[in-house]
Amino acid sequence: MQTSNLTTIRDVAGKVGETVVIGCWLQGKRSSGKIQFLKLRDGLGFIQGVLAKSDVDEETWAAAQKLTQESSLYVTGIVREEPRSPSGYELTVTGIQTIQVTEEYPITPKEHGIDFLMDRRHLWLRSPKQRAIMVVRAQIIRAIQQFFDERGFTLVDPPVLTPSSCEGTTNLFHTKYFDEDAYLTQSGQLYMEAAAMALGKVYSFGPTFRAEKSKTRRHLIEFWMIEPEMAFVDHEQNLQVQEQFISFVVQSVVASCRTELETIGRDVSKLEQVQAPFPRITYDEAIELLHKEGFDLPWGEDFGAPHETAIAEKFDRPVFITHYPASFKAFYMKPDPTRPEVVLCADLIAPEGYGEIIGGSQRIDDPELMAQRFQEHELSEEAYAWYMDLRRYGTVPHSGFGLGLERTVAWICGLEHVRETIAFPRTLYRLYP
């Protein structure tokens, strides 16, 4: 078979009445006596092939009967419009060339346990729901890049191997860099601050790593982050960019991925509500709200997943929690000038219990305060000398944030666990496949 002569399922729309050849896999089949219905997929789409015994030769009929789930084949057929089919088209099959009849395929339409599926992630990806999630993820990335590219941001790639930490030292991935110690990046932020001083508005998109010993439905060891950083932008403007950004991304997915969201079983009306502006509450107000809900959490302690969920339940769209205590937040966050015990930061909590999707802040721009923070956090001034230079040579107010891609995909797709949001998840106990 000349693969250059093939048509993809995506392209059959323009070929009604024509005979086409499609390279595909058999997802499943059913038969009613003298007709076989073949569920075909080529990765780009799905189509039903209808094979009538009276229309084909013995050989084709026999070939179809031998096909098992995930067998690979070339199907020749005439494209027909079929309003009852999800794609709107159907194929009247006239010929079949089998590439491989697959031995018993491990993933059948029956229910499988999660460990069974994760061990076979390389095959599980072929199922319609998993495929749809990957398509939505790709659209989210496209929308993210479109949002920033259209607003004058430049894409900058920070390094993956770093000599020091950004988000504390507890979950660093250590490695050797020849004779030196190095760590896989936890966040590109510090480098993006340098890039913002060169390019004004920048964003990065890349993998980040945290050796977190947390086995929760929101934690991955390797996850992808989008980190915008903006010179001459304060806390308030930072929040405005975030709410416009998230609304843009969600509405872009709603507009482009209806079919996939339906396959995944997502209630789209919940996503349609996601329009800026987003509600905001301070950490103090959040603590008060939690006390009213019966939580016994003293001021000065960080929120866990149950707290975030209780807060999110009060709102129909993402909610910002602002002005956290400086005591448990990162060293680089700028204190509120009117109340230095809290910082000009915000976490954005997704609705429906999906937790924190963004962490961001205005950064300290004063060199003296920054030096003081290095001491308080016991960070080596030598290791961060380059970062200090940003405060020494033309310091300016600046802000930025980091969006966790997998948590965003989990929320937009309505998934129970982040492990389904990335093709090959790295979780606490999983490095295979």
Instruction: Tell me which residues in 119-178 interact with ligand 4AD (CB under 6 A).
Output: 166-167
For residue 56, what are the contacts with CB-CB under 8 A and spacing of at least 6?
93, 94, 95
Minimal distance, residue 281 CB to ligand 4AD, in Å:
17
Q: 283-292 vs 305-312: helix axis angle to the nearest 10? A: 90
Distance CA 52, CA 325 (A): 71
Instruction: Tell me which residues in 343-362 interact with ligand 4AD (CB under 6 A).
Output: 356-360
User: Which one, 139 or 186, has the nearer CB to ligand 4AD?
Assistant: 186
Q: Binding pattern to ligand 4AD, positions 219-258, x when CB under 6 A?
A: xx--x-x-x-------------------------------
Using a CB cutoff of 8 Å and minimum separation of 24, what contacts does 331-337 make?
331/373, 331/374, 331/376, 331/377, 331/379, 332/189, 332/190, 332/361, 332/363, 332/364, 332/370, 332/373, 333/361, 333/362, 333/363, 333/364, 334/235, 334/361, 334/362, 334/363, 334/364, 334/365, 335/364, 335/369
Q: Binding pattern to ligand 4AD, positions 362-401, x when CB under 6 A?
A: --------------------------------------xx
User: In whole angstroms, how far apart are CA 128 and each of 7, 111, 125, 142, 225?
Assistant: 20, 14, 8, 21, 26
User: Which one, 91 or 220, has the nearer CB to ligand 4AD?
Assistant: 220
User: Which one, 29 or 334, has the nearer CB to ligand 4AD?
Assistant: 334
Q: H or E stretch including 162?
A: strand 161-162
Minimal distance, residue 52 CB to ligand 4AD, in Å:
51
> Any idea what the Cα angle at residue 225 is, between residues 206 and 135, rounded to 5°?
85
Minimal distance, residue 87 CB to ligand 4AD, in Å:
34
Instruction: Tell me which residues in 180-199 interact with ligand 4AD (CB under 6 A).
Output: 187, 189
Minimal distance, residue 357 CB to ligand 4AD, in Å:
5
Secondary structure, 3-state, 289-306? HHHHCCCCCCCCCCCCHH
Nearest to 266 by CA among 110, 144, 411: 411
Judged by CB under 6 A, the residue of 45, 49, 351, 402 near ligand 4AD is 402
Q: H or E stretch including 140?
A: helix 128-149
User: Which one, 334 or 407, has the nearer CB to ligand 4AD?
Assistant: 407
| Residues 323 and 340 sit within 8 Å (Cβ to Cβ) | no
User: Which one, 71 or 421, has the nearer CB to ligand 4AD?
Assistant: 421
Minimal distance, residue 220 CB to ligand 4AD, in Å:
4
Q: What is the DSSP string of 417-432?
A: -GGGGSSS--BTTB--
The SS3 assignment for 318 reads coil
User: Which one, 147 or 401, has the nearer CB to ligand 4AD?
Assistant: 401
Q: Binding pattern to ligand 4AD, positions 203-222, x when CB under 6 A?
A: -------x-x------xx--
Minimal distance, residue 161 CB to ligand 4AD, in Å:
17
Minimal distance, residue 233 CB to ligand 4AD, in Å:
12
Minimal distance, residue 400 CB to ligand 4AD, in Å:
5
Minimal distance, residue 254 CB to ligand 4AD, in Å:
21
Tell whether residue 334 is a contact of ligand 4AD (CB under 6 A).
no
User: Which one, 318 or 404, has the nearer CB to ligand 4AD?
Assistant: 404
Q: What is the DSSP string of 370-383?
A: HHHHHHHTT--TTT
Which residues are at the interface with ligand 4AD (CB under 6 A)? 166-167, 187, 189, 210, 212, 219-220, 223, 225, 227, 356-360, 400-402, 404, 406-407, 418
